[in-house]
Copies of this chain bind each other. A is one copy, B any other.
Amino acid sequence: MVETRRLYHEKLGELKADTVRLGALAGEQVALGTQALLDADLAAAGQVVARDGELDDLTHAIEENVYLLMARENPVAGELRTVMAILRVIHEIERCGDLMVNVAKATRRLFPSSLDPKVRGLIERMGAQAGDQLRLAIEAFSDGDAVQAAALADMDDTMDDLQKTLFRVVLAAGAPDEAALQSAVQVALVGRYYERIADHAVNVSLRVRFMVSGTFRGEGREPGG
């Protein structure tokens, strides 16, 4: 029985480690995809698209292993909250990967036009901000740190401000011709993708708070599905 419990905790630890690894993969996609966009590097954009399958496969494998663990071990209380948190967190992370695929596709659509220096600066900051928020959320998950998780929710304003500025720069300025307008639309879409990555990072942090404390403090309902 003691041996079984030890194996059970090993399995739970592996699932957590796999989740952290998934988060690291997503973080690499954010960095690579942002660089591809800034450099108009189609090869790097292609890599981001190709690597997304890895994130999807790992997500699915974790999901199956969580259910196997549930079927075999019937976890309760804190351990049940941990496996439930894993199930939500992996989907939030997987979505970040999908959004970076969208950024990579926008990189292709924008090619070969280059970004206005002001736009470039904003996207650089949004990419860094999205990467930071995601990394901190995964760290909070890994450490079971509710305080860090709570701090993360406040970081979201930075991204919202960056996105509003980007919108103002590209959409409200008007466009001299149809091609410029189409580029502006792609850049606006990219801004949305980064903002949503930040949202997913916030959702991860809400899950971490629930995992650690068993409550969603200050939340009217569970974070969206």
**Footprint of B on A, CB under 8 Å?**
63-64, 67-68, 70-72, 74, 87, 91, 167, 170-172, 174-175, 181, 184-185, 188-189, 192, 195-196, 198-200, 202-203, 206, 218-221, 223-225
Cα of A199 to Cα of B192 in the assembled complex, Å: 22
Q: Contacts A218-B220, A225-B196: A63 and B171 contacting too (C-beta < 8 A)?
A: no
Q: Provide the main secondary structure of the chain A interface.
A: helix
A184-B71 CB under 8 A given contacts A203-B224, A225-B203: yes
CB distance from A205 to the nearest CB of B (A): 11
Contacts of A196 in B (CB 8 A): 91, 225
**18 CB < 8 A contacts A-B:** A64-B185, A70-B167, A70-B171, A71-B170, A71-B171, A71-B174, A71-B181, A71-B185, A71-B188, A87-B192, A199-B224, A199-B225, A218-B220, A219-B220, A219-B221, A220-B221, A223-B224, A224-B224
Q: Please give me the 3 A-B residue pairs with the lowest Cβ-Cβ distance, nearest first.
A: A199-B225, A224-B224, A220-B220
Bound together, the chains give a CA A91 to CA B203 distance in angstroms of 16
9 further A-B pairs in the complex, CB-CB below 8 A; given A68-B181, A206-B224, A219-B221: A67-B171, A67-B184, A67-B189, A68-B185, A71-B181, A71-B188, A195-B225, A220-B221, A224-B224
Q: When chains A and B are docked, how far (Å) is the Cα of A195 from the Cα of B200?
A: 19
**Chain B residues, CB < 8 A from A195:** 225
Minimum C-beta distance from A190 to chain B (A): 11
Closest-by-CB residue of B relative to A181 is B71
Docked pose: A64 CA to B102 CA in angstroms:
12
Q: Whose C-beta in chain B lies nearest to the C-beta of A206?
A: B224
Residue of B nearest to A167 (CB): B70
